[in-house]
Structure 1
Amino acid sequence: MATLRNVFISHHHKDDSSVDSVTRILSGKEYNIRNSSIRAKPENQRRLNEKKVSDLTIKRLLRMKMRWASKVIVVIGKETHSRPWVNWEIELAHKLGKPIVGVYENGLKDQVEVPINLEKYESSRVAWRSDAIIGALEGESRFENIDGSLADDKKGSHSVC
């Protein structure tokens, strides 16, 4: 029987396919991920780009969706560190006391920059492997490099009791 997890997946909209992929690889390991993040259809993305939806409205919607989730995954891609909404979501997750798991996007070869708030508040950061992601979701505090090797000792990370 699959373990149901309500997860908010923070990501840069260009990495939408990675959200689908992480959901798929975890479902293959008997996890049922219900993602509560916002994924705009093209017509809605256009409205967002044209600022026809206020930031206050977006924040209210994100807060509702994140409160519902028990954990937060941040997909770390090449441009994630530069996305203001990703940093805002990470800070919100921290304020709400959610465990925050950074997951390097599949296929990255070189080290990438990590969002500043992820550096501050993450409980784990792992490579793109189902066992590592599941361990982090289960509360294992593990810090890996992009290739899955253990990262240097991480001090001051957000811990979950």
Structure 2
Amino acid sequence: MAKLRNVFISHHHKDDSSVDGITKVLSGKEYNIRNSSIRAKPDNQRRLEQKKVSDETIKRLLRMKMRWASKVIVVIGKETHSRPWVNWEIEMAHKLGKPIIGVYENGLKDQVKVPVNLEKYESSRVAWRSEAIIDALEGESRFENVDGSLAADKKGSHLVC
């Protein structure tokens, strides 16, 4: 029987395909996730960019969706570190006491910058491998580089008990 987890996947909207990719790679291992994150359709993305929806409304919706999740996954792509909403989501996940798991986007070849708040609050950061992602979702704290090799010791990482 497949395991089911409720997660919130924080990501840069240009990385939407990676959100689908995480779901797909895990379902192949009989591990299903229900993602509560917001994925704006093109019309809604334009409304957001034109500031037709207030930041407070967006924050309220994101908090509501994050509370429902047991864990937060952050897709780490080439531009993720520069996205203010991703940093806000990470900080909010921390305030809500959620374990935060960074997952490097599939296909990255070189190290990429990581969002500032992910550096502060992450409980794990793993490469795009189903086993590593599942281990992190199950509570194993580990830190990897893009290629899956172990990263340097990460002292002071945020662990949720």
The answer, yes or no, to whether TM exceeds 0.5 is yes
Q: Does 1:92 align with 2:92?
A: yes
Q: Provide structure 1 residue ranges, at least 5 long, that are not aligned to the other structure.
A: none
Deviations 1:73-98, CA, capped at 9 Å, x for gaps? 00000000000000000000000000
State the Cα distance separating 1:2 from its structure 2 match: 1.1
Whether 1:159 and 2:136 are equivalent positions in the alignment is: no
1:107 aligns with 2:118: no
Query: TM-score normalized by structure 2?
Result: 0.99
| Alignment correspondent of 1:18 | 18
TM-score by length of 1: 0.99
What is the CA-CA distance between 1:149 and the residue it aligns to? 0.3
Partner of 1:121: 121
* Aligned residue type for 1:98: K
Secondary structure, counterpart of 1:144 in structure 2: coil
| Cα distance in structure 1, aligned partners of 2:84 and 2:156 | 23
Q: Displacement of 1:20 after TM fit?
A: 0.2
Q: 1:108-139: CA deviations, max 9, x gaps?
A: 01110000000000000000000000000000
Q: Which residue of 2 aligns with 1:39?
A: 39
- 1:160 positional shift: 2.1
**Structure 2 alignment gaps of length 5 or more:** none
Q: Where does structure 1 differ by over 6 angstroms across 4 or more consecutive aligned residues?
A: none
> Aligned residues, how many?
161
Secondary structure, counterpart of 1:48 in structure 2? helix
For residue 60 of structure 2, give the secondary structure of its aligned residue in structure 1.
Answer: helix
- In angstroms, what is the RMSD of aligned CA positions? 0.5
CA distance, structure 2, for counterparts of residue 63 and residue 146 of structure 1: 29
Structure-1 separation of matches of 2:16 and 2:95? 25
